[in-house]
């Protein structure tokens, strides 16, 4: 099973793709790909959102996941940030909803989309809902059997690691 995790944002949308078998085990998770979709603050918001949508659809076609997992929006003190992240989540969800995957048993089917709150992901992976970015990354590396995660070409490891954490959380919760 291929799980596609997404940490949405308008400036940086992290993605992480893992392949898992049927048995819940730390050693049963294979890292397929991870990185970030970056948009410039100088670009108009509609074009930034279109870019995120287009890149997500490209990644879906490339990796052919069995499900998409999206981190839910956390409403903190900054409402403006929450609004723009909500827009990014919307285009991510629309891209996932518009993707159809062929199957032997069916002509095509929509990908299942699941959502988890960041606090739930942190609690599941680290044992603490208040874990910081470094603790989450350490847990992600442990589950992937890696001593280190290389920074993606774009240089934003935090968002990519958060997306991998969302994907791993889904695997742990469904097995």
Per-residue pLDDT of the chain (175 residues; tens, 9 = 90+): 999 999 999 999 999 999 998 555 555 899 999 999 999 999 999 999 999 999 999 999 999 999 999 999 765 656 677 788 889 999 999 999 988 776 666 656 688 999 999 999 999 999 999 999 999 999 999 999 998 888 776 667 899 999 999 999 999 999 8
Tokens of 104: 């032997």
Identify the domain containing residue 156 by its residue range.
2-174
Residue 7 labelled as part of a binding site: yes
Nearest Cα residue to 88 out of 7, 152, 5: 7
Taking the whole predicted model, whether its pTM rises above 0.85 is answered as yes
Nearest Cα residue to 96 out of 13, 12, 29: 13
**33 carries an active-site annotation:** no
Catalytic residue (choose from 7, 66, 115, 162): 7
CA 38 from chain center: how many Å? 14
**55 carries an active-site annotation:** no
Beta carbons within 8 Å of 2's beta carbon, 6+ residues apart: 17, 18, 19, 32, 63, 64, 65, 66
Q: How many domains does the chain have?
A: 1
Between CA 66 and CA 136 the distance in angstroms is 24
CA distances from 145 to 26, 138, 139, 164 (A): 7, 10, 10, 13
Residue 159 labelled as part of a binding site: yes
Between CA 68 and CA 26 the distance in angstroms is 20
Catalytic residue (choose from 66, 71, 115, 158): 71
CATH of the domain at 110: 3.30.420.10
Residue 71 labelled as part of a binding site: yes
**7 carries an active-site annotation:** yes
């Amino acid at each position: 099973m291929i799980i596609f995790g997404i940490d949405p944002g308008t400036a940086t949308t992290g993605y992480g793709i893992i392949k898992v078998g049927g048995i819940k085990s730390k050693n049963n998770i294979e890292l397929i790909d991870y990185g970030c979709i970056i948009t410039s603050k100088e670009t108009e918001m509609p074009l930034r959102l279109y870019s995120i949508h287009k890149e997500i659809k490209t990644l879906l076609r490339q990796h052919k996941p069995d499900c998409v997992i999206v981190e839910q929006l956390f409403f903190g003190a900054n409402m403006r940030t929450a609004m723009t992240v909500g827009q990014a989540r919307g285009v991510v969800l629309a891209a996932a909803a518009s993707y159809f995957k062929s199957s032997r048993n069916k002509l095509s089917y929509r990908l299942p989309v699941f959502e988890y709150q960041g606090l739930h992901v942190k609690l599941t992976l680290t044992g603490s809902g208040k874990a910081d970015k470094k603790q989450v990354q350490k847990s992600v590396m442990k589950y992937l059997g890696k001593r280190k995660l290389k920074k993606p070409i774009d240089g934003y490891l935090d968002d990519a690691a958060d997306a991998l954490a969302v994907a791993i959380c889904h695997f742990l919760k469904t097995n």
